[in-house]
Chains A and B, each alone.
Chain A
Amino acid sequence: MQVEFIHRPGNTAATLLLAAGESCTTESGAMIAMSGQLDIETTTHKRGKGGLLKAAKRLFGGESFFLNHFTARSGPGEVLLGTALAGDMMDYTLDGDALLVQAGSFVACEQGVEIDTTWQGFKNLLSGESLFWLKLSGRGKVVLSSFGAIYPIEVDGEHIVDTGHIVAFQETLEFSLTKAGKSWLHSMLGGEGLVCKFKGRGTVWCQSHNPGSFGMSLRPTLKPRK
């Protein structure tokens, strides 16, 4: 599977080029367009792996319950993918290692990639972020999206990232939630709330904008829920 990006970084779309016989898995609702002859299947899990439980976990992770699978059975084909929010995309090739991905940033992956949802414990509850991260492991390419620009930070030692700005990080990094300021009160009043402290050696991919902050800025203009 080849991945090409177009219209970076503002309104990026990914083109997945599938050779005959290849297949890929995408987040539901991400497809913009595709070749006419591709086979489509919608399941609650990665083909042949996992089941309802995994799907239910994914739902809690803020991802959709369902995944779409595209297979190029009769000759090569392409799938164009986009996201709801404006922003960039990146690809990463897993080679036995694992990535932890912020809910909502997952776009697509190759056949050989395993998708699982990891429970990060109750500490995440406080952060207002999702309780789950998607864990992508195995072998193959993955495509992730961000809100705004995407930039990697090589961590060697310790580094702090606001929870809303994380796209993904390598599993080699250990992370803990902590307060941004000296006291809890200052942290909350400062609007930073909780931040992620990474320890170890590895890469964290960050997004320039926090989707939650953007959503909250729209809040006053949105019609209240009935």
Chain B
Amino acid sequence: MSFKVSVTGYAQADQVAARAAFATAFKITPEKAAELLTVLPRTIKVDLDQATAQRYCDALLKMGLTSAAEPMQAAAAPSPVPPAAPAPVAQASPAPVMPAAVVAPEAEQPGFKFTIEGAPDFAFLTVKLPANHTIKVEASAMATMDTHIRMKTKLGGGLGRFITGESIFINEFSAEKVPGEIGIAPGAPGDLGHVYLNGDVIYLQNGAFVACDPDVTIESKWQGFKKGFFSGESFFLIRASGTGDLWFNTYGGMIAKDVDGEYVVDTGNIVAFTEGLNYSVEKFGGYKSLFFSGEGFVCRFRGKGRVWIQTRTSGALLTWAQQFRKAKSAD
């Protein structure tokens, strides 16, 4: 089912600030934002999956705007719904009360309830585990948890993770009998991405995996010698498939790019991409560029899908730090 997101009102007294934040987030001028938000509710996004719609609502709330995510009336909906019926939630008064209440009820959301704090520089994930539910977490990424949550260490991810120096273990945390909360901190400072997999497949760069629903299968996928060798990254990618939440992290900020056609990303900056995309590793420009551009090899994506990009790479930082190494003779 697809969802639409509407702005219903202001969650804070300072309407100007909220509009300014809205303008910044959607990359429009403050005037345009003011114009858009004069008549409320205002639908701002359509055709979203529920998780994405929820993320929009959360983001809008941070800007100081209340919003509602509602299912869109499917054209071929079998139920005799009166056409063009105004969505009831949209009529809700934009009272500056607890705006989260406007958001779709908890039961309808697929996956775990979670919050991401400190994004985009120091994102930290807190997941609410319902009773008797389990979550898979990257080894050593657990930062805090309730005392009744039990941890089990399992071999996971396949041989590829061993070869690439990742931990071959993935921890499973279960909330026994009563609900619990677990705080997860990725190793690198940066942003966190979340997708709710619904039978689709996402590839993650090695090291980007943070946590997932136990129904999501995490496995290593051999990229092939050419792609692996030239990408400068590893020969393996993580293939995540199944149904449920998946969280991954970046070093630096994260940019989600919807690709339709062709898009080029530096190999070190790729975090994740959807299965629908074909990719090839190629040299950046001509041979002169290959050796001197400082970019080396890049990844060219073709087709339709989404790529998640990180704005920094730890490799570049390490290269920069080389100049500060002591000369051996100085010892």
Contacts and interface: CB of A to CB of B under 8 A. Distances in A.
Interface of A: 4, 6-7, 10-13, 27-38, 40-42, 64-66, 68, 80, 82-86, 215-216, 218-219, 222-226
Contacts of B302: 36
28 contacts: A6-B311, A7-B120, A11-B190, A11-B311, A12-B311, A28-B295, A29-B294, A32-B255, A32-B311, A33-B257, A33-B265, A33-B307, A33-B309, A36-B264, A36-B301, A37-B262, A41-B285, A80-B255, A82-B312, A84-B320, A85-B320, A86-B252, A215-B320, A218-B324, A219-B326, A222-B324, A224-B326, A225-B328
Contacts of A6: 253, 255, 311
B312 A216 contact: no
Contacts of B27: 4
Contacts of A85: 317, 320
Contact of B294 (A36, A38, A64): A64
B321 A222 contact: yes
A28 B261 CA distance: 26
B317 A84 contact: yes
B39 interface: no
Contact of B293 (A13, A66, A82): A66
Among B263, B264, B313, find the residue whose CB has the most chain A CB atoms closer than 10 A: B264
A226 B325 CA distance: 10
Contacts of A82: 252, 269, 311-312
Nearest to A70: B285
B38 interface: no
Given A7-B254, A31-B284, 16 more contacts: A7-B255, A10-B120, A11-B121, A31-B295, A33-B257, A36-B262, A36-B300, A36-B301, A40-B286, A42-B288, A84-B317, A84-B320, A218-B324, A219-B326, A222-B324, A222-B326
B263 A36 contact: yes
Contacts of A30: 294
A216 B321 CA distance: 9
Among A27, A65, A82, find the residue whose CB has the most chain B CB atoms closer than 10 A: A82
B330 interface: yes
Contacts of B252: 7, 11, 13, 82, 86
Given A28-B295, A42-B289, A218-B324, A33 B121 contact: no
Given A12-B253, A13-B255, A36-B262, A29 B327 contact: no
A31 B311 contact: no
B265 A10 contact: no
Contacts of A66: 292-294
Q: B-side binding surface: helix, strand, loop or mixed?
A: mixed
B37 to A, nearest CB: 21
Contacts of B255: 6-7, 13, 32-33, 80
Among A7, A80, A224, find the residue whose CB has the most chain B CB atoms closer than 10 A: A7
Given A4-B27, A31-B266, A85-B320, A224 B330 contact: yes
Contacts of B300: 36
Contacts of A222: 321-322, 324-326
Contact of B264 (A10, A34, A65, A216): A34
A105 B289 CA distance: 22
Nearest to B264: A34
Contacts of B321: 215, 218, 222
Nearest to A38: B264
A222 B324 CA distance: 8
Nearest to B326: A224
Nearest to B330: A224
Among A32, A35, A66, find the residue whose CB has the most chain B CB atoms closer than 10 A: A32
A32 B262 contact: no
Top 5 closest A-B pairs, CB basis?
Answer: A36-B262, A29-B294, A7-B253, A28-B294, A40-B285
Interface in B276-313: 284-286, 288-289, 292-295, 298, 300-302, 307, 309-313
B328 A224 contact: yes
Nearest to A86: B312
A68 B311 contact: no
Given A12-B253, A84-B312, A86-B312, A33 B264 contact: yes
Nearest to A217: B324
A33 B284 CA distance: 11
A226 B319 CA distance: 16
